[in-house]
Amino acid sequence: MVSLESLNQDCMEMIFAYLSTRDLSSMALVSHTLLESVTPRLYRSLVFHSEHARKFTKGSSALTASVRRLDIRVVPMYRGAVHTTFLREFLNTVRMAENLNSFTCTQPIILPPALRAMKDHKYIRHIRIHAKLNQEQALALQQLNALDSATLDASTWNVIDMLPNWMCSMSSSLTALTLYSLPDLNDNVFFSTVTALVNLVQLHVVNCGKIQHELVIMLSVHTPKLQSLAFTDLSTSELTAPCQLLHLRHLVIDNRIDAASGLLKASWTFFIKLTREWGCSLTSVVLKPSIRTPIHDSVITDLLDVHETTLQHLMLLNCELSVASMRNIAGQCQRLERLGVSVPYKDIYTVAEAFSRSYSLETLHDLGDITHNHGTRPILTKDNVRVLIDMIPSLKRVVTWDRIWTVRATSTGPCSPPLLWNLIRCTGTQGIR
């Protein structure tokens, strides 16, 4: 008889891929053999978020060789400084994790020593950093020149200044670039950066005040393989030069136009028309105005006329959607799997009836008001979720800002399936962005 422990590591890895972290932890307690087999999978990702900061405990440095992904979003503080034990173990982990593949650090206070610790790492392919660095530290960052994807948040001018040379050194490998909240990024630096990245598949330029959407789109002529594009619309001017994005599949528009002026509707209509001229087939669309705004029915009609046959994911952040538009989305998008809208709780039966026309919708995100900061934030109740589950044929999951409601399948009788909910810890719009 073949036992689990007699299987080779490759077979074990295939089994472990279907198990949760909790299940893997339980398996590690069964025997020494299983512990050795589970450890590489169990410690492949090390994550330190806000829920971990108050219960920081010392770990084992012997397990760092298995780490492939490191994600640091907060740091524990002690008397106004980084906790010395955490900093020592963090740098130790970075230094010893020679097979590190992905590195995320949104805390600039610990980034400089981390860059020094990983200077000899050869396998880092993905980074996301809050890069407030001086000139010497920016040069250390430039040593990472074999990346597949790079995300820079709120970087200083020292990082922006070396951006063209850094990107040029990765022109053959980099396929995804995200620049978020870089107020010092100017047209000349951005032009030199993008024109060097001919293999770029994903380009996201959001909240960079000096970079207009016209430049982002026009420079896409240098990135013919582009499949995902995100930009901030700061003005109402239209493009003066043609471009073709035949391979574009994902589009994100972050609008900063005054909704009260009526120009927001014209902007959305223009971009939808532009995608028709490009001849692309979008599978994912995200629209996000700066303030809560009713979205005109004609905008939804134009969007569906162009992309109803291919659209699978649609997120309308900060938008108020009419019932008529809900019915159109559910009825016309035959491949729609995930939808994010603001669900009006008082009209839950009307909303459920509108979305009941869809036989493909599996996940519904209640985005609510993502700018809500004061008072008690309204959420869907269990009864609200029950109505949605009962009336929308294919719905399996309802996501709110702090909970995920899932359906547990049953094989007995025609009764409604029971609901389970999992509490997700998040702050503000961190889980949405």
Q: For residue 287, what are the CA distances in angstroms to 314, 318, 390?
A: 8, 8, 28
Domain boundaries, the chain: 7-42
Report whether pLDDT(428) > 80.
no
Coil, strand or helix at 166: helix
The number of residues in the chain equals: 433
Please give the DSSP secondary-structure letter assigned to residue 181.
S
Q: Answer with the residue of higher pLDDT: 338 or 418.
A: 338
Calculated CA dihedral for residues 45, 49, 55, 59, nearest 10 degrees: 30
Report whether pLDDT(311) > 90.
yes
**What number is the average pLDDT over the span 153-162?**
92
Instruction: Give the closest residue to 342 by CA, choosing from 289, 382, 280, 392.
Output: 289
Instruction: Give the closest residue to 247 by CA, choosing from 175, 168, 193.
Output: 175
Give pLDDT tens digits for 314-349: 999 999 999 999 999 999 999 999 999 999 888 899
pLDDT band at 260 (very low <50, low <70, confident <90, very high): low
pLDDT band at 56 (very low <50, low <70, confident <90, very high): low
Q: Tell me the percentage of the chain whose pLDDT exceeds 70.
A: 85
Q: What pLDDT, on a 0 to 100 scale, did the predictor assign at position 47? A: 84
Name, in order, each residue with C-beta under 8 angstroms of 53's C-beta and a sequence gap of 6 or more: 74, 75, 76
pLDDT band at 158 (very low <50, low <70, confident <90, very high): very high
pLDDT band at 46 (very low <50, low <70, confident <90, very high): confident
